Amino acid sequence: LVIGNGGREHALAWKIKKSPLLKKLFCIPGNPGTESIARNIAIDIKDFKKIKEFCLTQNISLVVVGPEVPLVDGITDFLEASGLHVFGPSGYAAQLEGSKTFSKNLMRDYNIPTAEYATFSDFNEAELYLKNIKKFPVVLKADGLAAGKGVLICQSLEEALSALKQIMSDKAFGDAGNTLLVEEFLDGDEVSVFVLCDGKNYCILPPSQDHKKIGEGDTGKNTGGMGAYAPAVIADKRLISIIEEKVIMPTLQAMTKKGHPYKGLLYVGIILVKGAPYVLEYNCRFGDPETQAVLPLVKSDIVPFLLDCAKGNLQNLNLEFEEKCALDVVLVSAGYPDSYEKGYPISGLNDLDNSVLCFHAGTVIKDGRTVTSGGRVLNLVALGDTFADCAKKVYKEIEKLKFTGMYFRRDIGYKVLSD
């Protein structure tokens, strides 16, 4: 059973579907993409009780949880209490994403490199602190989950005071902003590192790079992610081993010392400052859209790995990868990441060439037609020997797709394409 309904979950279902061990695949609630390879079940992902009943009735042998909200809300603990195997961290361990104060304090206590920070639960104290800051930009973050929107980079004191008001007084991110983090601004290239963990043992997946900004050349507003590529060449073998030693191992050890070993996917968001890795954030689940580029590079059957992690018994650490490149371009609705219209029919889906993968994100079937239902609508992914090959294939196929207001960045992978 895969839980979730985005592009990440379609990619997970697609990869799981390839496993010879698989008998039956379900998605809750899934999307039209997953419907073509699995059975979608219309249960609200907040309804843990119904999910549990479904799992027990259907004899589900593995639950893979896509999004962070149910994980932070303790779905793993809830299902495991009934003897189910769940790929995902406990509610306690998911605080690595669910509370920035939790994760920053852990990094400080275990000497894991990250930006300098201070935390505040009192507006006036935060204001006083900001007024004494000499160096801008500065980064303000809501402590809790804010659907990727709770980070504000402020170029001046004025901007910082206005962000403070937004987060702590106006409650722009609800209770997520009860506690505020003020962080030193770091400048550099970012890389996402996914780690499959069983609590102690782990496998590192090929590093990837997201494109968070809406506009070409990384301009404009932050989004959920406009595209990704893998492997991220800036994170070479040497850098990955530094990240392993300075970040991954101490993080897993820290969680074990706290009595809550980390099991599931640990997403380490790294920024490279003059070549040295600093942790920007942890996520407690696969990244979206990075997963859509990373999973096609996994050669091994992923199911035994997910299952062994869920059981806390990952013995085979030899996950194999394709010696290829992958590139994912996200097609979004006009207006995204602000308000956008939905319900527009998508044409061309049946004309796509087999050489590309199409993962659905914000789509639904209405009157027999696939129509848009979200900001991020589709992901087109190509594999190739070079990123240039991938980009050529993806952008050629995108020309076949149409919906009113369709927008995408034409420069996904530009950092590796111009080399």
- Residues near ligand GLY (CB under 6 A): 148, 210, 225, 283, 287-288, 290
Rank residues 126 and 227 by Cβ distance to ligand GLY and give the closer one. 227
Rank residues 29 and 269 by Cβ distance to ligand AMP and give the closer one. 269
CB of 269 to ligand GLY, least distance (A): 7
Measured CA to CA, the distance from residue 301 to residue 12 in angstroms comes to 12
Q: Which does 288 bind (CB under 5 to 8 A by kind): ligand GLY, ligand AMP, none?
A: ligand GLY
**E strand map for 323-408:** 325-332, 356-360, 363-366, 369-372, 376-384
Q: DSSP character for 216? A: T
CB of 376 to ligand AMP, least distance (A): 16
Where b means 16+ CB within 10 Å and e means fewer, 250-283 reads: bbbebbeeeebbbbbbbbbbbbbeeeebbbbbbb
376-384/325-332 β-pairing: antiparallel
Q: Which does 254 bind (CB under 5 to 8 A by kind): ligand AMP, ligand GLY, none?
A: none
Q: Which residue is nearest to ligand GLY (CB)?
A: 287
Q: Which does 283 bind (CB under 5 to 8 A by kind): ligand GLY, ligand AMP, none?
A: ligand GLY
Rank residues 203 and 330 by Cβ distance to ligand GLY and give the closer one. 330
Which value, to the nearest 10 degrees, does the dihedral of the CA atoms of residues 204, 22, 64, 210 take? 50
Query: What distance separates the 2 farthest-apart alpha carbons in the chain?
Result: 61
Measured CA to CA, the distance from residue 50 to residue 289 in angstroms comes to 28
Measured CA to CA, the distance from residue 41 to residue 355 in angstroms comes to 29
Angle at the Cα of 384 (from 379 to 387), degrees rounded to 5?
Answer: 80
Q: Which does 185 bind (CB under 5 to 8 A by kind): ligand AMP, ligand GLY, none?
A: ligand AMP
Q: Which does 29 bind (CB under 5 to 8 A by kind): ligand AMP, ligand GLY, none?
A: none
CB of 166 to ligand GLY, least distance (A): 21
CB of 212 to ligand GLY, least distance (A): 7
Q: Which does 388 bind (CB under 5 to 8 A by kind): ligand GLY, ligand AMP, none?
A: none
**Tokens 């039956």 map to which residue?**
24
User: What are residue 154's DSSP bridge partners?
Assistant: 138
Angle at the Cα of 412 (from 408 to 413), degrees rounded to 5?
Answer: 175
Rank residues 146 and 364 by Cβ distance to ligand AMP and give the closer one. 146
- Which residues lie near ligand AMP (CB under 6 A)? 115, 139, 148, 151, 153, 183, 185-186, 190, 212, 269, 280-281
Rank residues 148 and 312 by Cβ distance to ligand GLY and give the closer one. 148
Rank residues 84 and 270 by Cβ distance to ligand GLY and give the closer one. 270
CB of 398 to ligand AMP, least distance (A): 25
User: What are residue 266's DSSP bridge partners?
Assistant: 195
Q: Which does 140 bind (CB under 5 to 8 A by kind): ligand AMP, ligand GLY, none?
A: none
**CB 382: neighbour CB atoms within 10 A?**
26
Residues 6+ apart with CB under 8 A from 252: 197, 199, 200, 202, 261, 262, 266
Rank residues 151 and 346 by Cβ distance to ligand AMP and give the closer one. 151
| Residue 44 structure tokens | 């609200």
Q: Which does 411 bind (CB under 5 to 8 A by kind): ligand AMP, ligand GLY, none?
A: none
C-beta of residue 336 within 8 angstroms of C-beta of residue 214 = yes
Q: Which residue is nearest to ligand AMP (CB)?
A: 281
CB of 183 to ligand AMP, least distance (A): 4
CB of 287 to ligand GLY, least distance (A): 3
CB of 257 to ligand AMP, least distance (A): 24
Rank residues 55 and 293 by Cβ distance to ligand GLY and give the closer one. 293
Q: Which does 290 bind (CB under 5 to 8 A by kind): ligand AMP, ligand GLY, none?
A: ligand GLY
CB of 332 to ligand GLY, least distance (A): 14
Burial of 175 (0-12, 13-18, 19+ CB in 10 A): exposed
